[in-house]
Amino acid sequence: MRLKKHLSSFYNVSEETLEEYISHWSEYSVSRKSVITECGRTERYLYFVKEGIQKSYFLNERKQHVMFFAYAPSFSGIVESFLTQTPSKYYLETITDSTFLRIPYAKHSQLIEKHRELETLFRIITEQFLTGIIERHHQLMAFNTEIRFKKFVKRSPHLINMVSQKDIASYLRIDPTNFSKLINTIKI
């Protein structure tokens, strides 16, 4: 199972505990361009992407500002809303038809309290997530548009043909016109 393999890649949890935890995840499918989590709503589930691509974004003056893309095999959802059980400041929307496994907050929280090794697992996952956010912040602050684009293509080349140029430009904080020029001049 991909979820089990993904979780085990972060930290080794006993087979029995991992099986108990995984048994509470259920499959959930959503069609493309569906809003899963709305701004102002509390994220009730942690998602694991089996198939599909999603984006999280916020709106400013009715313009989308893409913060993250999620795709298999990875977690998805509005993480800070899920962890704190407070209203989300962002949206989570499917770009393509998507299939997930998901676990409700109450069950996740109950199992983390019950099993110290699950708490350790999710501390490590949270640390890696934070490290990724810091790296992304560094790239946005320190690198020019060309370097940000090249790093994105190196890290996620498959998204170039699966996600709109407008969304990628927003994610990279590049003007869409400049993004068009970049994509036509840089060898992918």
pLDDT of residue 116: 96
As a dihedral over the C-alpha atoms of residue 175, residue 176, residue 180, residue 185, rounded to 10 degrees, the angle is 20
Instruction: Please tell me the predicted confidence (pLDDT) of residue 187.
Output: 66
Q: What is the pLDDT along the chain (188 residues), one digit of tens a residue?
A: 899 999 999 999 999 999 999 999 999 999 999 999 999 999 999 999 999 999 999 999 989 999 999 999 999 999 999 999 999 999 999 999 999 999 999 999 999 999 999 999 999 999 999 999 999 999 999 999 889 988 898 888 889 889 999 999 999 999 888 888 888 777 66
User: Which structure tokens are listed for 134?
Assistant: 């810091």
Q: How would you class 150 by CB atoms within 10 Å of its CB: exposed for 0-12, middle for 13-18, buried for 19 or more? A: middle
Radius of gyration of the chain (CA): 17
Domain 2-113 falls in which CATH fold? Jelly Rolls (2.60.120)
Round to whole Å and give the CA distance between 57 and 63: 10
Any residues with CB less than 8 A from the CB of 162 and at least 6 apart, and which?
Answer: 53, 95, 96
- The number of residues in the chain equals 188
Joined tokens for residue 163:
């996600």
Identity of residue 154: K
The identity of residue 103, as a single letter, is: I
The model's pTM is: 0.90
pLDDT for the residue numbered 33: 97
